Amino acid sequence: MTRTEASVRTVRALLVGFVIAAIPASGGGPVLAGTEQAPTAAGKAGQVSWNFEDVAIGKRPPGWKVQATNPRGPLATWQVIQDATAPSGDHVLAMTRPNHTFGGTFNICWTDTVSVLDAEIQVRFKAVKGEEDQGGGVIWRAQDKENYYISRFNPLENNFRIYYVRDGARKILASTRITLSSGEWHTLKVVQHGNRFEGYLDGKKLLEGTDDLFTRPGGVGLWTKADAVTSFDDFVVTPLK
C-alpha cells in the first residue's frame, strides 16, 4: 500500500467515526426533524447544542418558534443580538421586548425539531431587566405551548424553581431561595431521568423531586415571564440512557 492510499483510508475512517458519533442515541435520545433545522452536534453521542454564533443578528435559529402561554396582546420579541459579555463568541438569543403588559404571560422560544425524554439540559443566562419579573430558564418535554416542564431563576424573588405547566396553568414542583446577581451570566442545568428531576444553579444541586405528568418525549427551549428581558447562550441538550 502506498503512503497516499494509507492517508485516504485514514481520512475515510475518521469521517465514518464522526458520522456515527453524531447520530442520536436511541431510547430517549434527541430526534432531529430535517437536516436544515438540525442544531450543532456536540461532543457526546446524541448531544446537541446552540451557541447562536451562526445565526444572523435579528434572526432566530432555524426551527425555533416564538409562542406564549396565556398570551394577552402581541408576542414577545426573541432574536439573536450581539453581546460582548457572552460566554462564547458574541451572539446570544434574547427576549428583547415583551410587547405586552400582562404579568401572567409566559414568553417561550422553543423547538420541536429536537425531541427528548431523559436528558441533561443546560444554558447560560443573564437577567437584563424587568419590573414585573426578571430572569428565566428552560423548558423540556414540551408537548405544545401550554404543556411542558420548566425550571427558572427569578432575581426579583430570589428563588429557583421547577414547575409543570399543564393547559396553561403552572404548579410548583420544587423551590428554594437563593440570591444571584442580575446583569451577570449564570448557569442553569436540569437533569430529567424517568420521573425524577434535579435542578442546578452555577454547578450546585439545589432542587430535586419526582413527577409523573409528562411521560412522552417533547421539545426544548427557553422561557421568561411577563416583562423579563433575558439573554441566553450555550444551550446544550445531552440525552441520557
Question: Does 103 have pLDDT greater than 90?
Answer: yes
Question: What's the longest Cα–Cα distance across the chain?
Answer: 72
Give me the residue label for grid cell 424553581: 161
- Tell me, what's the pLDDT at 40? 56
- Tell me, what's the pLDDT at 207? 98
Given a contact cutoff of 8 angstroms between Cβ atoms, the answer to whether 38 and 50 are in contact is: no
Which class for 187: exposed (0-12), middle (13-18), buried (19 or more C-beta within 10 A)?
Answer: middle
Q: Note the CATH number of domain 3-239.
A: 2.60.120.560
CA nearest neighbour of 163 among 106, 120, 78:
106
Give me the residue label for grid cell 447544542: 49
- Tell me, what's the pLDDT at 39? 58
- Tell me, what's the pLDDT at 44? 72
Give the pLDDT confidence of 20-38 residue by residue, as tens digits.
Answer: 233 333 334 444 433 233 4
| pLDDT above 90 as % of the chain | 80
Question: Does 129 have pLDDT greater than 50?
Answer: yes
- What pTM does this model have? 0.84
Find the DSSP H helices in 136-229. Answer: none
Question: Does 74 have pLDDT greater than 60?
Answer: yes
Whole-number Å distance between alpha carbons of 84 and 90: 5
- Tell me, what's the pLDDT at 241? 84
Give the pLDDT confidence of 151-210 residue by residue, as tens digits.
Answer: 999 999 999 999 999 999 999 999 999 999 999 999 999 999 999 999 999 999 999 999
Whole-number Å distance between alpha carbons of 68 and 58: 19
Q: How many helices (H) and strands (E) does the chain have?
A: 1, 17
Find the DSSP H helices in the chain. Answer: 3-22
CA nearest neighbour of 143 among 195, 214, 236:
214
When pLDDT is averaged across residues 67-79 and rounded to a whole number, the result is: 98
Whole-number Å distance between alpha carbons of 229 and 95: 5
- Tell me, what's the pLDDT at 6? 43
Given a contact cutoff of 8 angstroms between Cβ atoms, the answer to whether 78 and 93 are in contact is: yes
Bigger pLDDT: 8 or 168? Answer: 168
CA 143 to chain centroid: 15
Transcribe 72-119 into DSSP letters. Answer: -SSPPEEEEEE-TT-SSSSEEEEEEE--S--TTPEEEEEEEEEEESSE
